[in-house]
Structure 1
Amino acid sequence: MRFNFFSRNSAPTVNHEGAPAFTLTPQVELYAAVATAALSDQFYEHADTRLQRLRELVAKNEPVFVAQLAVYARESLNLRTVPLVLCVELAQLHRGDSLVSRLVARVVQRPDEITELLAFYALANARSGNKVLNRLSKQLQKGLALSFNRFDGYQLAKYDRDGAVRLRDALFLVHPNAKDAAQQALFDQLVRGELPTPYTWETELSAVGQGSYATDADRQTAVRQTWETLITSGKLGYMALLRNLRNILEANVSAATMERVCDTLADRFAVARSKQLPFRFLAAYREVKALPSGHVAAVLAALETAIAHSAVNLRGFGPDTRVVVACDVSSSMQKAISPRSKVLLYDVSLVLGMLLQSRCQNVITGMFGDTWKRISMARGPVLRNVEEFYRREGEVGYSTNGHLVIKDLRERREVVDKVMLFTDVQLWNSTGDGGTLAREWAEYRRTVAPSARLYLFDLAGHGTVPLEVRPETGVALIAGWSDRVFDVLSALDNGGSALSEIEKIDL
């Protein structure tokens, strides 16, 4: 079965701002909702509303597509929670084969995802306490049993955490058959609470924090030495390193250790293995740039190198391809992607926009709010360019007049090949002149550039678009926060659909 990305039956509706919009096919709407799901409150939509919409969309789609999308979200977009939601919702609706068990076994890649899936299963079935241990879907149970068999003692101990469901509870519920005597011994240790304490940066620093010291200087020395040991041992994972740069710099580790930190950050193989979402590099960049350490400059340079490596497979455009990269800096974009994050949708827009800009040789960049403003940037320093945009965002105001990007091109009679809008897609006209993106785009293609293509990079997944998405209009929708969105762009340019990457997944 081929899931055609382009919606030929778009129905007129309105978006969250009351502006004219079009609906999406169930497949595309589910794809966009999943690719942008942090399952936390957004500017236009509360987390429980998004969750309910996901449930309704799962019911409207073919089970195989839902399963392929769950795998895509976990393995390509590196999302953790929403694939588990799709597994549980699919288990509610689909019976008669092993699709759900195979999906669960593939999506669950860490032991804590077993307990998270069970906790959501309890929530989805309105159960509490030990009631989650009753009437578990047989296919979920089988898939989780297969997952248990993949984890070693270190992994089980590392992720055996307090919560509504513990790994011990999950073991009793799932009843996995140990693959050998050694694994059975691990399961027995888990039941008794006797798994050895794992060597992790959290446990090592916790032990230091609980120690007794004669002076604060002695405590600081112990913290510094612990960080140096963690870093030189290679036991500090890439994400942990990225998230702890401030702590490492403030611990005043040695110059040799900082050199090791920078080398690891900038190592292209380490970047590839880490599968970091691009905005993680921006978050780290901001955490350290104002610190007084003399090593900050080297760390910032390493982060620039790292994010460049993250986009190394991004298919750019040469001098013959004229590209416009326009970033939405409106008020609705200035919403954190999750409760614990300082990263805004606005930041995601700028990071993805500047990643693309770094790969284009003939490019116009700018931002839109009340107005549209072109801003010339050097090609290359992605994070520094993002910060420059961030510093200047007040220059265009906070409405969502995306149609002005196209109006500017039309009035200049400027021919371009591709227009990239990074936005939450809730476009509306605050000028009162009645202009819309749909109208401006149709007129631009009719009078200036008939073969131009418009790509809407949807960063919020609210379920509507400001103009019809189909080949005849030259419009495509791409959703998500990962650099993998550019794989979709490549698929579109090669005659595929935006769901081509999902269709490739073999279950």
Structure 2
Amino acid sequence: MRFNFSFRKNKPAPVLNHEGALAYQLTPALELYAAVATAALSDQFYETAGTRLQRLRELVRQNDPRFVAQLAVYAREQLYLRSVPLVLAVELAQVHRGDVLVSRLVARVVQRADEITELLAFYAVANQRQGPKTLNRLSKQLQKGLALAFNRFDGYQLAKYDRAGQVRLRDALFLVHPQAKSAAQQALFDQLVRGELPTPYTWETELSALGQQQFASAAERQTAFRRKWETLIGSDKLGYMALLRNLRNILEADVSAAAVEQVVAALTDAGAVARSKQLPFRYLAAYRELLPLRSGYTALVLQALETAIGHSIQNLRGFGAETRVVVACDVSGSMQQPVSQRSKVLLYDVGLVLGMLLQSRCGHVVTGMFGDTWKRVALPKGQVLRNVQEFYRREGEVGYSTNGYLVVQDLRQRREVADKVMIFTDCQLWDSTGQGTTLAQEWREYRRTVAPQARLYLFDLAGHGNVPVQVKPENGVALIAGWSDKVFDVLQALENGGSALTEIEKIEL
């Protein structure tokens, strides 16, 4: 056995990022926020899903329970995330007792019937149990919260989400014993137990039934699907997300001009956009699906998508014509990773979409991308998705390293004053030239010699827990994390003297 008999105070080990470059560790609260806001719980370039999950569990224990609960609600209701709030609720139940915080949290974040079974499935994993029969010692606070959630769902919702899996809704009903609010609800619970809930009407069931029919010819089949899509569009039974995901199918079905007009009207309705709570990159995914189509209506629907995504940040303030802004997008190799296992959208795409959304609201703006080099790219305003595609087409022009310091070095060498420098990145910056230049050094020198009032905003799209510049108001550096348009609400909070945590701490439980 070896012992260290030195009485000298050891210096803390330097923080290194995944590229081996010097970095700065975030506070536990900021680290948990960044990890949650960027959590798809799927493998990423630098971190596997298991590693991210273990880090989330450790961070829950390092933070105040009330903050963890507020963050879980923020993630569900503001960032539109589903799985990670359930993880936070289960982990919080492991370490916090003595009040109703956990039960109220569970009732708040479980907003779909299938989230009841998803939470129980994760509880089984977290407690190393297998199958519903091993969950009979469920945490009392989780049990109470799930019982409250059960009371909110009607027969349609229960039937729609009663799916096969490790835990079924029937199993959950036996585990949590919700008290029915009425005789009618008790009848629904009884039907669920017997497996007799009526099959709910959905657009999926309509199309599935049609797909199983036999047709005399391909033309007859085409006509049937065209009429079915026109009926669904006219009935308003297609939700916003369903419409967004089926634009290609609708145009390929060759629906009528009147139906296309209805689609465009639905897509561009500002109220519908707000209510739909779509992550901005969903519009990019839909846009790309349409680009190869030869339909005469493709251009019209592409423009509708531009209008729809433009509604996301109409109320952003603090970016008048006189505000000098730099928007820099990381297009390095580590950013070429999908946001989840089933998605075609990359972290790279998320950064570009958010960057171009911001560009669309700025009066005085420089936009560009960095990898081995930093390149300014001037693009027209008002074409967010088209501009993203232009960046995507040109990304190879700057290489695939992560030399983010070049963005600020370029400003310093030009002696160009910027009020706000926005960098969209996974924060794993380094100097591939071997000279050891850092963003922290360049930022310090830029503020000292060129623009003392400049502010640097790091938009963290990966949440690895460390950043290339110390996040402190006195350094003029702020952190914003996540993939939703709510990052701009955090930006607004920063304008008002707050921080990324200010919006979270507003949550009432």
Equivalent of 1:44 in 31, 43, 46 = 46
- Higher mean alpha-carbon deviation, 332-341 vs 487-496, is at 487-496
Q: Distance in 1 between matches of 2:203 and 2:316?
A: 33
Q: State how far apart, in whole Å, the 2-side matches of 1:460 and 1:272 are.
A: 25
Aligned to 2:126: 124
Instruction: Give, in angstroms, the shift of residue 433 of structure 1.
Output: 2.2
Residue 164 (structure 1) aligns with: 166
What is the match of residue 156 of structure 2?
154
Cα separation, 2, equivalents of 1:419 and 1:129:
51
What's the CA shift for 1:225?
1.8
Q: Classify the secondary structure of the residue corresponding to 2:500.
A: coil
Corresponding position of 1:100? 102
Q: Deviations over 1:300-337 (max 9, x none)?
A: 01000000012222225112211100000000000000
* Structure 1 equivalent of residue 81 of structure 2: 79
| Structure 1 CA distance for aligned equivalents of residues 109 and 272 of structure 2 | 23
For 2:240 and 2:253, the matched residues in 1 are separated by 18
Between the aligned partners of 1:130 and 1:388, the Cα distance in structure 2 is 50
Letter in 2 for 1:423: T
Corresponding letter in the other structure for 1:276: Q
Assess if the C-alpha contact under 8 Å between 1:12 and 1:23 holds in 2. no
Conserved? CA contact 2:313–2:488, under 8 Å: no
Paired residue for 1:457, among 449, 456, 459? 459
Q: Any conservation in 2 of the 1:316–1:359 contact (CA below 8 Å)?
A: no
Equivalent pairs: percent with the same residue?
79
**2:367 counterpart SS class:** strand
Q: Is the 8 A contact 1:281 1:307 kept in 2?
A: yes
The change in CA–CA distance for 1:225 and 1:11 in structure 2 (over 3 A counts) is farther
2:194 pairs with 1:186: no
CA displacement at 1:77 relative to structure 2: 0.4
1:282 alignment partner in structure 2: 284
Equivalent residue number for residue 93 of structure 2: 91
Residues 40-68 of structure 1, C-alpha deviations (whole Å, 9 max, x = no match): 00000000000000000001111100000
Deviation at 1:472, TM superposition (A): 1.4
Q: Distance in 2 between matches of 1:387 and 1:329?
A: 13
Are the counterparts in 2 of residues 316 and 356 from structure 1 also a CA contact under 8 Å? no
Following the alignment from structure 1 to structure 2, what is the Cα–Cα distance between the partners of residues 132 and 350? 46
Contact 2:102 2:145 (C-alpha < 8 Å) held by counterparts: yes
SS state of the match for residue 458, structure 2?
strand
Match of 2:236 in 1: 234
In the other structure, the counterpart of 2:5 is none
CA distance in 2, matches of 1:316, 1:190: 52
Q: Which secondary structure does the structure 2 equivalent of 1:392 belong to?
A: helix
Letter in 1 for 2:424: F
1:272/1:247 CA distance change after superposition, 3 Å? same
For normalisation by structure 2, the TM-score amounts to: 0.96
Please report how far the alpha carbon of residue 148 of structure 1 lies from its aligned counterpart in structure 2 after TM superposition: 0.6
Find the counterpart in structure 1 of residue 367 from structure 2.
365
Contact 1:11 1:23 in 2 (8 A): no
Matched, 1:139 2:134: no
SS where residue 23 of structure 2 aligns?
A: strand
* Whole-angstrom distance in 2 between the partners of 1:262 and 1:435: 49
User: What is the deviation of 1:258?
Assistant: 1.2
Q: Which of residues 489, 492, 496 in structure 2 aligns to 1:490? A: 492
**Match of 1:320?**
322
Q: Deviations over 1:329-350 (max 9, x none)?
A: 0000000000100000000000
Q: Deviations over 1:391-414 (max 9, x none)?
A: 110110000000000000000011
Tell me how far apart the structure 2 counterparts of residues 266 and 132 of structure 1 sit (CA, whole Å).
Answer: 49
1:124-143 CA distances to partner (integer Å, 9 max, x unpaired)?
Answer: 11111233432111100100
Residue of structure 2 in register with 1:6 after alignment? none
CA contact (8 A) 2:129 2:135 kept: no
Q: What is aligned with 1:414?
A: 416
C-alpha separation in 2, matches of 1:506 and 1:297:
44
Q: What is the aligned counterpart of 1:377 among 361, 376, 379?
A: 379
Tell me the distance in 2 between the aligned counterparts of 1:376 and 1:423: 20
Contact residue 317 and residue 359 of structure 1 kept, 8 A: yes
Contact 2:318 2:495 in 1 (8 A): no
Distance 1:73 1:266 in 2: 26
- Counterpart secondary structure, 2:416: coil
Tell me, yes or no, if the aligned pair for 1:58 and 1:89 is still in contact at 8 Å. Answer: yes
Residues 68 and 503 of structure 1 are in contact (CA less than 8 Å); yes or no, is this contact kept in structure 2? yes
Aligned 8 A contact 1:326 1:421 in 2: yes
Q: Could you tell me how far apart the structure 1 residues matched to 2:51 and 2:165 are? A: 24
Query: How far does the alpha carbon of each residue in 1:224-281 deviate from its partner, in whole angstroms, 9 at most, with x for none?
Result: 2221111111010000110111111111222211111111011111101101000000
Matched residue, 1:212: 214
- Distance in 2 between the 1:118 and 1:147 partners? 13
For 1:482, what is the secondary structure of its paired residue? coil
Report what 1:306 is aligned to: 308
Following the alignment from structure 1 to structure 2, what is the Cα–Cα distance between the partners of residues 502 and 123?
Answer: 28
User: In 2 relative to 1, CA 36–11 (structure 1 residues): closer, same or farther, beyond 3 Å?
Assistant: farther
Distance in 2 between residues matched to 1:184 and 1:220, nearest whole Å: 44
Equivalent AA in structure 1 for residue 231 of structure 2 = T
One-letter identity of the residue aligned with 1:310: S
Query: Secondary structure at the residue paired with 2:15?
Result: strand
Aligned equivalent of 1:67, options 49, 66, 69: 69
Contact 1:330–1:400 (Cα < 8 Å) also in 2: yes
Which sections of structure 2, spanning at least 5 residues, go unmatched? 1-11
In the TM superposition, what is the alpha-carbon distance from 1:157 to its structure 2 partner?
A: 1.1
Distance 2:504 2:216 in 1: 59
| Contact in 2 for aligned 1:325/1:420 (Cα 8 Å) | yes
Q: Which residue of 2 aligns with 1:348?
A: 350
RMSD value, Cα: 1.1
Distance across 2 between alignment mates of 1:422 and 1:30: 19
- Cα shift readout 1:187-207 (whole Å, capped 9, x = no counterpart): 111111111111111111111
User: Who is 1:395 aligned against?
Assistant: 397
User: 2: distance between equivalents of 1:224 and 1:123?
Assistant: 45
**Contact 2:332–2:399 at 8 Å: present in 1 too?**
yes
Residue number in structure 1 paired with 2:4 = none
1:289 to partner: Cα distance: 1.3
- C-alpha displacement at 1:441, in angstroms? 0.5
Give me the whole-angstrom Cα distance separating, in 1, the residues matched to 2:259 and 2:321: 42
Q: Secondary structure at the match of 1:431?
A: coil
Q: Secondary structure at the match of 1:341?
A: coil
For the residue of structure 2 that corresponds to 1:365, the secondary structure is strand
Query: 1:19-58 counterparts in 2 under 5 A?
Result: 19-58=21-60
CA displacement at 1:11 relative to structure 2: 7.8
1:386 maps to 388
Displacement of 1:219 in angstroms is 2.4
Deviation sequence 1:123-175 (CA, Å, 0-9, x none): 11111123343211110010000001011111111111111111111111111
Give the direction of change, closer, same or farther, for the CA distance of 1:40–1:357 in structure 2 (3 Å limit).
same
Q: Alpha carbons of 1:316 and 1:275: their partners in 2 closer, same or farther (altered >3 Å)?
A: farther
Query: Unmatched 5+ residue regions in structure 1?
Result: 1-9
Which letter does structure 1 place at the counterpart of 2:250? Answer: I
